[in-house]
A and B are shown apart, each in its own frame.
Chain A
């Protein structure tokens, strides 16, 4: 980076794509954090990611089955490319430069590289606590071999707890459930619940499994009894209809909503909110526009077909209003009135949780919430962190930068 002075108040630097550092790339986010005084309140990001495939050799060592361990080391986790219909379309074919930047970004030998990279973007955005999810493993459900799903999920969760969560209290996770196998899910909760940084469990809603099967009932009961939220994190894989698309545009726009709509509807029409009234469910990474649609659609059905859903005592939308939603990717183009209506429909002030999805291509900064003109200051703070703190019972841990800014303000 070439920096020159040209007069007292002029600074110049040359842009180089041969060098990448997250802090520099997010300097504008850091400016937003200062301008909006994020140091005054807690920001919790309930959906962020790493690329666990970059740590694959480490994770492989946690696979207990020796044959699977050998095969996993040989195969790797994911090898995207156009030839297999699963290309790297998230990076917009090179247009989103943090994807390739990540490959050349330097980090010290310790702490773990993922922790360093997480701290860099969290500190820049003003995020204090982040819930971390995998990336390629979101589509682990597409493997036809349940033993592979179970083995890799157990290894990943073990590695994540030991190498990441235990080392950085600002990073949390809702651990991946191998949802094809209810017994494996139960074993996962029994083993990992209570470990540092584990704040709930997560189902990727690309599993072609129905949530109402009796085999899952014990799982839901366990989570309810432990006060641990169950998240449904959407993704794009698995739905046969999406194969009709020839562009990721369509796969992403519809797939992320469709998968959660499918799971939400099944969850509701089988009376799960009545059967587990204290189980907190969180619906992740589908944006918000799908929620009003589904509320209206299901309520309309319910008035005519209540005989099919006798466990429901209220309209579906009333249960949906008591669930929790992550904000990203928030639909914000020319629809301020629609967005405000959506916030009202879901009781956003208490039910909506800010999410960035960083470092993925459609990430949202905290300013997407903070700058909404129809929210008062308390509602903004609730959505950006207060709601998550309450739901996950989080001890507030502020970023060092925000603590320093707060101390500086107090000295003045």
Chain B
């Protein structure tokens, strides 16, 4: 196990992504709100830089009690990492693909301590 200091406290702004490359391994450290996440920056679909696109919430179709569509909403508690090449979507909290749970981004441990944010590989 190796630990790499990614940044100092609050050095990465909310929403920022820092790519950490170690030899041929690219890991994206994502800050979302007060949380940090780290994933292999490699989409299992065609190998795109999965974490270098936008992040958006889960879209919800809202139905009334009779099953009629009454509108749309975003679920801000379920943010998706969206691969910029083709739009494959992954849950930010665990890296699992939204459409097929067998597919996922490899997750890495990232911790925030007094001296900064550290990535374990």
Contact mask B17-43 → A, CB, 8 Å, 1/0?
A: 111111110001000000000000010
Q: Which positions 21-76 of chain B face chain A at CB distance < 8 Å?
A: 21-24, 28, 42, 46-49, 51-54, 56
Bound CA span A363–B100, Å: 20
Partner pick for B16 among A14, A27, A98, A365, CB 8 A cutoff:
A14
Tell me which residues across on chain A come within 8 A of B24, comparing CB atoms: 31
Chain A residue nearest to B53 (CB atoms) is A97
Chain B residue nearest to A364 (CB atoms) is B46
Partner pick for A98 among B17, B28, B84, CB 8 A cutoff:
B84
A408 close to chain B: CB less than 8 A: no
A361 close to chain B: CB less than 8 A: yes
Least CB distance from B48 to A in Å reads 6
Partner pick for A361 among B19, B22, B86, CB 8 A cutoff:
B86
Pairwise interchain contact B46-A368, C-beta atoms closer than 8 A: yes
Pairwise interchain contact B86-A6, C-beta atoms closer than 8 A: no
Q: State which of A88-96, A193-201, A335-343 sits at the interface with chain B.
A: A88-96
Least CB distance from B23 to A in Å reads 6
A11 close to chain B: CB less than 8 A: yes
Tell me which residues across on chain A come within 8 A of B4, comparing CB atoms: 6-7, 10
Least CB distance from B80 to A in Å reads 9
Tell me which residues across on chain A come within 8 A of B6, comparing CB atoms: 6, 12
A28 close to chain B: CB less than 8 A: yes
Known: A95-B82, A365-B47. A13 touches B19 (CB 8 A): yes
Chain A residue nearest to B99 (CB atoms) is A333
How many residues on A have C-beta within 8 angstroms of the other chain's C-beta atoms? 30
Q: Which positions 74-99 of chain A face chain B at CB distance < 8 Å?
A: 92, 94-98
A67 close to chain B: CB less than 8 A: no
Least CB distance from A274 to B in Å reads 40
Tell me which residues across on chain B come within 8 A of A98, comparing CB atoms: 84
Report B's interface with A, CB cutoff 8 A: 4-6, 12, 16-24, 28, 42, 46-49, 51-54, 56, 82, 84-87, 100
List 10 A-B pairs, Cβ < 8 Å: A14-B17, A14-B18, A15-B16, A15-B52, A25-B49, A95-B53, A97-B53, A97-B54, A362-B86, A367-B47
Given contact pairs A362-B86, A363-B86, enumerate 6 new A-B contacts (beta carbons under 8 Å).
A15-B18, A15-B52, A25-B49, A92-B87, A95-B84, A98-B84
